[in-house]
């Protein structure tokens, strides 16, 4: 089901689930709801925990939507849960280890409550070797399901309530698009809006294309409709999600690229801000940057992972651009939007990376002026090309490089935040920080702590910055 270049325009998205598939799950929802009602005196409780990226968080909101329709209520306390669902991430080993640790800890709970159901889903479960390990080492788990069958949760709940052995469903495939799923959103003023799924880029270190399937875009009309509905319901921030949003609209071809989609959403009446992630440098066009600059509702923030500053490493990573091309993209972006804030991801210790390569990464970071950066030590992922490449540098050496880069970015971030002092920003008040202050997010994705009461939460305020620390601004509502 890979889209080829010469395809004609499609009016229907052939990745979308069929009417029968949707109807079947509606029927399972009714059946599971009847079972739940008969079996529990009070509504049962579900503990749902999502690991990983915002795409997973958006899936988590749909999983909760389906459980809610069956009659589950939600709890943050795993010990009182009747159903535990871990929605997992596979991008780095550490994320997987945490899931195994958490699942292991459920064994004791399940001995106390034999009726407790344990469900595992998401990217980590889409890997057959992980499902095998769960089957062997964690036999008390009830259901394991992959990313291609998230929409079948009602069926899995019904079948597991009926009893029987562990259900494992991780069909291979290019992935699908499930429209019209019930959603229980975590916030009533910030919304995730997936615009596409999967990835075709096959960066050599990355497991995502293997666990999330091929790139597939949602119908722009459905996206715009959903955005309109969110604005109508009072949402103030809409974040468009995809592994590479810049290639939105290529497959299927609806005659609407990402820049056009941004323009259509920007045209919706209402007071709200549009964010998006993640962008890939190789597909970040002038048209997109110009659109960002022109659209008043689009946040002046670009998350643009560069991964490495060495052209040799970028080539080994299959990224499709050079460090010079990346920096000239930033030049163009800053010239169009002087107030733009750029954040990035970088990997330290890719197989075969030398200290000279790493110094080129430092040099890029010095020039780029990122407001913040997510730095990752390379983690080999089974099945990826990079995991077969010679990797002679020791873990200790990689940790030293990692620390060097963090210190460098800390200095740059402190310069960026210091430059905000005295300025006034329009910011969305998000909630209470641990310090007790209200946290407000600027268009450029800076967080400002302000003294204020709860009534400001979910509203835009003009905030004057009075002080700065490395990662945090402090200010007052003007």
Applying CB under 6 A, the residues found at the interface with ligand SF4 are: 199, 201-203, 206, 208-209, 243-244, 280
Q: To the nearest whole angstrom, how small is the minimum distance from the Cβ of residue 418 to ligand SF4?
A: 32
CB of 202: closest distance to ligand SF4 in angstroms? Answer: 6
Inter-residue long-range contacts of 223-230, CB under 8 Å, 24+ positions, other chains counted = 223/193, 223/195, 223/261, 223/265, 224/261, 224/264, 224/265, 224/268, 226/193, 227/193, 227/265, 227/268, 228/268, 230/191, 230/193, 230/272
From the centroid of its chain, how far is CA 49? Answer: 14
Strand order, beta sheet including 301-303:
301-303, 341-348, 372-377
Report the residue number, 62 or 212, with the smaller CB distance to ligand SAH: 212
Closest CB to ligand SAH among residues 120, 208:
208
Q: If contact means CB under 5 to 8 A according to the sort of partner, which of ligand SF4, ligand SAH, none does residue 376 touch?
A: ligand SAH
Q: How far is 86 from 111, CA to CA, in rounded Å?
A: 19
- We find the least distance from the C-beta atom of residue 218 to ligand SAH, in angstroms, to be 17
Q: Which of 330, 139, 108, 219 is nearest to 120 (CA)?
A: 139
CB nearer to ligand SF4: pick between 206 and 360 = 206
Give which of ligand SF4, ligand SAH, none residue 92 binds (C-beta under 5 to 8 Å, depending on kind): ligand SAH
Q: Which does 83 bind (CB under 5 to 8 A by kind): ligand SAH, ligand SF4, none?
A: none
The binder of 345, among ligand SAH, ligand SF4, none, by C-beta within 5 to 8 A per type, is ligand SAH
* Residue 292 near residue 262, CB atoms below 8 Å: yes
Residue 209, binding choice from ligand SF4, ligand SAH, none, Cβ under 5 to 8 Å by partner class: ligand SF4
Question: Which partner in ligand SF4, ligand SAH, none is near 308 (CB below 5 to 8 A by kind)?
Answer: none
249 or 458: whose CB is closer to ligand SAH? 249
| Residue 415: closest CA among 476, 346, 365, 348 | 365
Rg (CA), the chain: 23
Per partner kind, with CB cut-offs from 5 to 8 A, the member of ligand SAH, ligand SF4, none near residue 266 is: none
Q: Which is nearer to ligand SF4, 206 or 428 (CB)?
A: 206
The residue (of 55 and 475) whose beta carbon lies closer to ligand SF4 is 55
Closer CB to ligand SF4, residue 202 or residue 355?
Answer: 202
**Minimum gap (Å) between residue 323 Cβ and ligand SAH:** 15
Write out the residues near ligand SAH by the rule CB under 6 A: 91-92, 205-206, 208, 243-244, 278, 280, 305, 307, 345, 347, 376, 378-379, 381
DSSP state for residue 16 in the 8-state scheme: B
Q: Taking the complex as a whole, how short is the minimal distance between the CB of residue 305 and ligand SF4, in angstroms?
A: 7
Q: Which residue has the tokens 């920080």?
A: 433
Partner in contact with 202, chosen from ligand SAH, ligand SF4, none, beta carbon below 5 to 8 Å by kind: ligand SF4
Q: 123: helix, coil or strand?
A: helix
Q: Which is nearer to ligand SAH, 50 or 69 (CB)?
A: 50
- How buried is residue 140: exposed, middle or buried, by Cβ count under 10 Å (0-12/13-18/19+)? middle
Residue 111 or 399 with smaller CB distance to ligand SAH? 399
> Taking CB within 5 to 8 Å according to partner kind, which of ligand SF4, ligand SAH, none is near residue 355?
none
Euclidean distance between CA atoms 171 and 151, whole angstroms: 13
CB of 317 to ligand SAH, least distance (A): 10
CB of 136 to ligand SF4, least distance (A): 29
CB of 179 to ligand SF4, least distance (A): 23
User: What CA–CA distance (Å, rounded) separates 113 from 78?
Assistant: 12
What is the spatial distance between Cα 119 and Cα 88, in angstroms, rounded to a whole number?
Answer: 11
φ, ψ (nearest 5 deg) of residue 384: -90, 160
Residue 382: CB minimum distance to ligand SAH, A = 10
Residue 61 · residue 184 · CB < 8 Å = yes
| Shortest reach from residue 319's CB to ligand SF4, in Å | 8
Task: Give the integer Cα–Cα distance in Å for 456 and 426.
Answer: 13
347 binds, among ligand SF4, ligand SAH, none (CB under 5 to 8 A by kind): ligand SAH
Residue 336 or 377: the one with the smaller Cβ distance to ligand SAH is 377
29/4 Cα distance (integer angstroms): 37
Q: How far apart are CA 7 and CA 5, in angstroms?
A: 6
DSSP string of 150-182, one letter each residue: GGGHHHHHHHHHH--S-EEE---SS--B--S--
């Amino acid at each position: 089901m890979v889209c080829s270049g010469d395809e004609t325009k499609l009016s229907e998205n052939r990745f979308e689930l069929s009417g029968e598939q949707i109807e079947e799950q509606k029927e399972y929802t009714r059946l599971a709801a009847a079972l739940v009602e008969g079996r529990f005196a009070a509504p049962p409780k579900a503990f749902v925990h999502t690991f990983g990226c915002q795409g997973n968080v958006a899936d988590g909101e749909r999983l909760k939507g389906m459980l809610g329709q069956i009659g589950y209520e939600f709890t943050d306390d795993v010990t009182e849960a009747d159903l535990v669902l871990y929605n997992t991430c596979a991008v780095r080993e550490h994320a997987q280890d945490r899931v195994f640790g958490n699942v292991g800890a459920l064994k004791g709970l399940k001995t106390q409550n034999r009726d407790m159901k344990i469900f595992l889903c998401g990217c980590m479960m889409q890997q057959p070797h992980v499902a095998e390990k769960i089957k062997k080492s964690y036999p008390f788990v009830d259901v394991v399901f992959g990313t291609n069958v998230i929409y079948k949760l009602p069926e899995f709940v019904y079948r597991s309530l009926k009893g029987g052995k562990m259900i494992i469903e991780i069909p291979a495939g290019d992935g699908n698009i499930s429209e019209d799923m019930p959603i229980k959103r975590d916030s009533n003023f910030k919304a995730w809006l997936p615009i596409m799924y999967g990835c075709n880029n096959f960066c050599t270190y990355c497991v995502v294309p293997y666990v999330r399937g091929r790139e597939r875009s949602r119908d722009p009309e459905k996206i715009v409709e959903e955005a309109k509905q969110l604005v109508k319901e009072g949402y103030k921030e809409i974040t468009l999600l995809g592994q590479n949003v810049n290639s939105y609209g290529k497959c299927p071809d609806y005659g609407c690229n990402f820049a056009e989609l941004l323009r259509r959403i920007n045209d919706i009446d209402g007071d709200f801000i549009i964010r998006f992630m993640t962008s890939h440098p190789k597909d970040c066009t002038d048209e997109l940057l110009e659109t960002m600059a022109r659209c008043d509702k689009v946040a002046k923030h670009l998350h643009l992972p560069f991964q490495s500053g060495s052209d040799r490493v970028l080539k080994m990573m299959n990224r499709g651009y050079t460090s010079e091309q990346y920096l000239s993209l930033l030049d163009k972006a800053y010239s169009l939007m002087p107030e733009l804030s750029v954040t990035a991801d970088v990997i330290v210790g890719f197989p075969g990376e030398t200290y000279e390569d790493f110094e080129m990464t430092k040099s890029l970071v010095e020039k780029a002026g990122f407001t913040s950066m997510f730095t990752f030590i390379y983690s080999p992922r089974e099945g990826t090309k990079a995991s077969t490449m010679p990797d002679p540098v020791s873990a200790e050496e990689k940790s030293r490089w990692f620390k060097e880069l963090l210190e460098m970015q800390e200095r740059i971030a402190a310069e960026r935040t210091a430059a905000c002092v005295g300025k006034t920003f329009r910011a969305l008040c998000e909630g209470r920080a641990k310090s007790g202050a209200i946290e407000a997010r600027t268009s450029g994705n800076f967080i400002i702590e302000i003294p204020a009461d709860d009534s400001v939460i979910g509203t835009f305020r003009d905030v004057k910055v009075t002080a700065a620390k490395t990662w945090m601004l402090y200010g007052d509502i003007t």
